[in-house]
């Protein structure tokens, strides 16, 4: 039945022959057939329901549900080194996500988005693996609004990861999961904050860059995007200090399918400063919204330039707190 629904040509031909059987073989009938065909094709193009009804698979790992396909334009790579029936690409993305979630919450004490006030009613995180073409060149996307999925029951947080991503060499899964941590605390989407801080979070699963200590930038950083990580967030981590060692047990537990480690360094720097930033933004957002409906306020103001001074207040507060603890 699903295959018939997704076959516009057969639907149109069936309609045509049903009419023809009644003896109506005029040009008017043919025009009606063409119109039917055009409508069905338009439906398929808009809603993209064909080729997905039967081919979608879901891989479960902890709170994550990875939705993927083995065939067609959206197909993942099918290598299966451990012969467990799950493509290695899918499994490796799931492993990085699970490792990042474990460390961010159980070791670094970041607030869990799934237990936050905003997302307390969600089941977990649906991760849809999509082609680079569908992703329009982006490696990943994380969505701030929880919604229902047609692949798994319930209400879920959602993200998308491109099928050209190899998690062993690319920190996109951890980066996108960190966005969900950010959204759980505040919905500011000013790029210098949102993307810059998330780029810092990648240090968890890649070699940590060595940066010279530097003064923090001023308001000029508001024009940055990913570059804000090296301009502001990693320097802030350096000012605040505090390397957090990763437990040996986790380094042993989390390995990709080929045995290579998820964690390339033994520590991550500045986690406490980043955590305090998120907690500060959580307070600031509620103050800024005032008596307004918070979700409606978020939709209207999430990328507003008016957020920049407010976010920067938190940067200065965290910097001052760190300097009081460790005077230069």
* pLDDT at 92 > cutoff 50: yes
Torsion angle of C-alpha atoms 76, 80, 85, 87, degrees rounded to 10? -20
State whether 9 and 147 are in the same domain. Answer: no
Distance, CA of 178 to CA of 224 (rounded, Å):
19
State whether 240 and 219 are in the same domain. Answer: yes
* pLDDT at 15 > cutoff 50: no
Tell me which residue range forms the domain holding 7: 2-47
Distance, CA of 115 to CA of 139 (rounded, Å):
27
Distance, CA of 159 to CA of 183 (rounded, Å):
12
Mean residue pLDDT of the chain comes to 85
Q: How far is CA 186 from CA 129, 202, 255, 328, in A?
A: 26, 20, 32, 32
State whether 146 and 11 are in the same domain. Answer: no
Can you tell me the mean pLDDT for 107-120?
Answer: 96
Q: Which of 32-46, 174-188, 250-264 has the lowest mean pLDDT?
A: 32-46
State whether 18 and 79 are in the same domain. Answer: no
* pLDDT at 261 > cutoff 70: yes
Angle at CA 262, nearest 5°, toward 259 and 264? 110
DSSP E strands in the chain: the ranges are: 56-61, 64-69, 125-130, 140-142, 147-148, 155-162, 243-245, 267-269
Strands 267-269 and 243-245: antiparallel
Can you tell me the mean pLDDT for 183-211?
Answer: 91
Residue 24: what pLDDT?
47
State whether 28 and 105 are in the same domain. Answer: no
Tokens found for residue 237:
């981590």
> 């940066």: which residue's tokens?
211
Can you tell me the mean pLDDT for 150-166?
Answer: 96
Tokens found for residue 320:
């001052």
State whether 39 and 60 are in the same domain. Answer: no
Q: Which residues contact 325 (CB under 8 A, 6 or more apart)?
A: none
Residue 4: what pLDDT?
30
State whether 124 and 193 are in the same domain. Answer: yes
How many structural domains are present in the chain? 2
Residue 119: what pLDDT?
95
Residue 211: what pLDDT?
62
* pLDDT at 75 > cutoff 70: yes
Distance, CA of 79 to CA of 236 (rounded, Å):
41
State whether 87 and 30 are in the same domain. Answer: no
State whether 97 and 147 are in the same domain. Answer: yes
Check: CB of residue 30 under 8 Å from CB of residue 81: no
State whether 14 and 130 are in the same domain. Answer: no
State whether 69 and 187 are in the same domain. Answer: yes
User: pLDDT tier at 43 (50, 70, 90 boundaries)?
Assistant: very low
Element (H, E) at 275: helix 271-289
State whether 140 and 242 are in the same domain. Answer: yes
Check: CB of residue 36 under 8 Å from CB of residue 124: no
User: pLDDT tier at 266 (50, 70, 90 boundaries)?
Assistant: confident
């Amino acid at each position: 039945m699903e295959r018939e629904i997704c076959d516009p040509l057969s639907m149109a031909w069936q309609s045509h022959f049903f009419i023809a059987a009644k003896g109506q073989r005029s040009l008017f009938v043919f025009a009606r057939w063409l119109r039917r065909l055009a409508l069905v094709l338009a439906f398929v193009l808009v809603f993209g329901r064909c080729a997905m009804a039967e081919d979608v698979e879901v891989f479960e790992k902890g709170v994550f549900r990875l939705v993927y396909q083995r065939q067609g334009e959206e197909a993942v790579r099918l290598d299966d080194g451990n012969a467990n029936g799950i493509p290695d690409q899918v499994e490796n993305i799931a492993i990085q996500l699970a490792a990042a979630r474990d460390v961010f919450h159980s070791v670094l004490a970041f607030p869990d988005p799934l237990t936050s006030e905003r997302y307390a009613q969600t089941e977990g995180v649906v991760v849809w693996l999509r082609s680079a073409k569908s992703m329009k060149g982006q490696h990943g996307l994380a969505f701030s609004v929880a919604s229902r999925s047609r692949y798994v029951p319930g209400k879920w947080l959602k993200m998308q990861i491109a099928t050209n991503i190899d998690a062993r060499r690319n920190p996109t899964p951890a980066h996108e999961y960190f966005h969900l941590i950010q959204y759980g605390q505040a919905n500011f989407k000013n790029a210098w904050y949102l993307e810059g801080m998330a780029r810092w979070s990648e240090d968890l699963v890649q070699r940590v860059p060595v940066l010279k200590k530097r003064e923090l930038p001023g308001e000029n950083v508001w024009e940055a995007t990913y570059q804000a990580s090296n301009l502001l967030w990693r320097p802030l981590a350096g000012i605040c200090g505090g390397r957090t060692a990763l437990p040996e047990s986790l380094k042993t537990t989390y390995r990709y399918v080929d045995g290579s480690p998820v964690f390339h360094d033994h520590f991550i720097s500045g986690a406490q400063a980043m955590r305090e930033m998120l907690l500060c933004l959580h307070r600031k957002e509620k103050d800024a919204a005032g008596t307004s409906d918070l979700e409606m306020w978020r939709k209207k103001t999430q990328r507003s330039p008016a957020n920049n001074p407010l976010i920067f207040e938190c940067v200065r507060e965290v910097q001052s707190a760190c300097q009081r603890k460790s005077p230069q």
